[in-house]
């Protein structure tokens, strides 16, 4: 068939397609994708529950009958023979199942929280967190925020549970109770910027430029819900122009978040400057439905008593926290640009972050029955 005949045939076919066909196709594709996600979650849940049941049986028999390593090795061989197409029955994984059941004796918690996590996540929790309450905290946070395995490991290694909600703030006095509680838990102290290496003589602009260069790590450390608006964001008050170091919008708090970066210890006047910035943002940027803007002063160090006194008389919600960087072994290059990254740069950075259900080849999503890496 000639090219022209093919084109004519396609034209006639398109003429017979209803005008709303594209909408129908899009809706069907969305339903198929949603069903695929539900199926994957269901398979994962059943697999984790199966592993918990197997682990419980092994643990009970070891306690009652003194099962040893040889029995587990024999069980692994027999299960592999019975289910040759199913991975996950190595002696090592069977021992993980036993430890998993011992770590989570409450079946309700297993069904409501732990079974929602891929097996690889559960193995990491077993390996890295010994305390039961701490392990449950990380498990619940992973379910809530959809952390990938790599993100979960990062949060554990940087001791997120010990830093979450620890910033000194005046939120209880300046925000209504539901908003103040959520805002308090959103802030950390200290913030861990150890992906940066700054010299002793580094200034605020070096810290700001470094955070922009590492936007993916920065957003990860800030936490879920932060959307980057801009750096050195201009606001005009009267006939003067002022520049906010970093401006975010928090999707859960529904408010702007102003960040002021300091490479020195906290000083009381920092609170007055932040109060000014928040007043300007509330008047110039805040829209109907937005909550009051929140300020975060990130300092190299702080005296808790000084920070508390400085915030006591402030009318705007402000928090003070420290920031940490890696060992001071080298300074950033002098020619670092502080220009904002382009949209393409941000998309490229964020595209590298593994999302829930896409572990970038480490096995959980594509092979939920796989053994721990």
**Predicted confidence (pLDDT) per residue in 181-210, tens digit:** 989 988 988 888 877 767 666 778 888 888
Distances (CA, A) of 90 to 35, 74, 192, 294, 367: 31, 10, 38, 51, 15
From the list 316, 274, 261, the residue with the least C-alpha distance to 291 is: 316
Each residue's pLDDT tens digit, 21-60: 788 788 888 888 888 777 777 888 899 999 999 999 999 9
Tell me the pTM.
Answer: 0.68
Each residue's pLDDT tens digit, 105-132: 999 999 999 999 999 999 999 999 999 9
pLDDT at 358 over 70: no
Fold of 163-351: Trna Endonuclease; Chain: A, domain 1 (3.40.1350)
DSSP lists the bridge partners of residue 295 as 258, 318
Phi-psi region of 259 (alpha: psi -120 to 50; beta: other; left: phi over 0): beta
Buried b (16+ CB within 10 A) or exposed e, 133-162: ebbbebbbbbbeeebbbebbbbbbebebbe
145 or 196, higher pLDDT: 145
Q: What residue ranges do the domains of the chain occupy?
A: 8-116, 125-157, 163-351
Angle at which helices 91-103 and 119-128 pack, to 10 degrees?
70
Most confident of 213-217, 246-250, 345-349: 246-250
Helix (H) or strand (E) holding 224: none
173 or 326, higher pLDDT: 173
Q: If pLDDT is split at 50, 70 and 90, which confidence band does 214 have?
A: confident
First to last CA, the chain: 53
340-345, long-range: CB < 8 A, 24+ apart: 340/212, 340/230, 340/231, 341/212, 341/213, 341/215, 345/215
Q: If pLDDT is split at 50, 70 and 90, which confidence band does 70 have?
A: confident
pLDDT for residue 8 = 59
pLDDT at 241 over 90: yes
pLDDT for residue 6 = 60
Q: What is the mean pLDDT of residues 324-335?
A: 46
From the list 310, 373, 352, 369, the residue with the least C-alpha distance to 87 is: 369
């Amino acid at each position: 068939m000639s090219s022209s005949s093919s084109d004519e045939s396609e034209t006639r076919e398109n003429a017979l397609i209803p005008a709303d066909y594209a909408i129908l196709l899009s809706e069907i594709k969305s339903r198929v994708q949603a069903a695929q996600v539900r199926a994957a979650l269901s398979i994962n849940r059943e697999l984790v529950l199966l592993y918990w049941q197997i682990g419980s049986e092994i643990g009970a028999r070891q306690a009652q009958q003194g099962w040893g390593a040889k029995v587990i090795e024999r069980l692994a061989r027999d299960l592999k023979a019975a289910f040759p197409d199913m991975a996950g029955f190595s002696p090592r994984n069977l021992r993980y199942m036993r430890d998993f059941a011992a770590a989570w004796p409450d079946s309700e918690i297993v069904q409501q929280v732990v079974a929602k996590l891929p097996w690889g996540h559960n193995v990491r929790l077993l390996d890295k967190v010994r305390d039961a309450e701490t392990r449950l905290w990380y498990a619940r946070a992973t379910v809530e925020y959809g952390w990938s395995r790599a993100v979960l490991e990062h949060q554990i290694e940087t001791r997120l549970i010990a830093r979450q909600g620890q910033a000194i703030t005046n939120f209880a006095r300046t925000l209504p109770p539901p908003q103040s509680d959520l805002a308090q838990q959103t802030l950390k102290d200290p913030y861990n910027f150890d992906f940066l290496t700054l010299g002793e003589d580094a200034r605020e602009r070096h810290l700001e430029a470094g955070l922009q260069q590492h936007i993916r790590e920065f957003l990860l450390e800030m936490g879920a819900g932060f959307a980057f608006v801009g750096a050195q964001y201009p606001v005009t008050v009267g006939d003067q122009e002022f520049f906010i170091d970093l401006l975010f919008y928090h999707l859960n708090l529904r408010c702007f978040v102003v960040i002021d970066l300091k490479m020195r210890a906290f000083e009381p006047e920092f609170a007055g400057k932040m109060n000014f910035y928040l007043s300007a943002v509330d008047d110039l940027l805040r829209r109907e439905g937005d909550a009051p803007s929140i300020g975060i002063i990130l300092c190299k160090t702080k005296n808790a008593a000084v920070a508390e006194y400085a915030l006591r008389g402030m009318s705007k919600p402000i928090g003070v926290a420290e920031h940490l960087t890696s060992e001071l072994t080298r300074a950033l290059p002098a020619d670092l640009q502080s220009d904002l990254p382009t949209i393409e740069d941000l998309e490229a950075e964020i595209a590298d972050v593994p999302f829930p259900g896409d572990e970038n080849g480490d096995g959980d999503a594509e092979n939920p029955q796989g053994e721990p890496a």
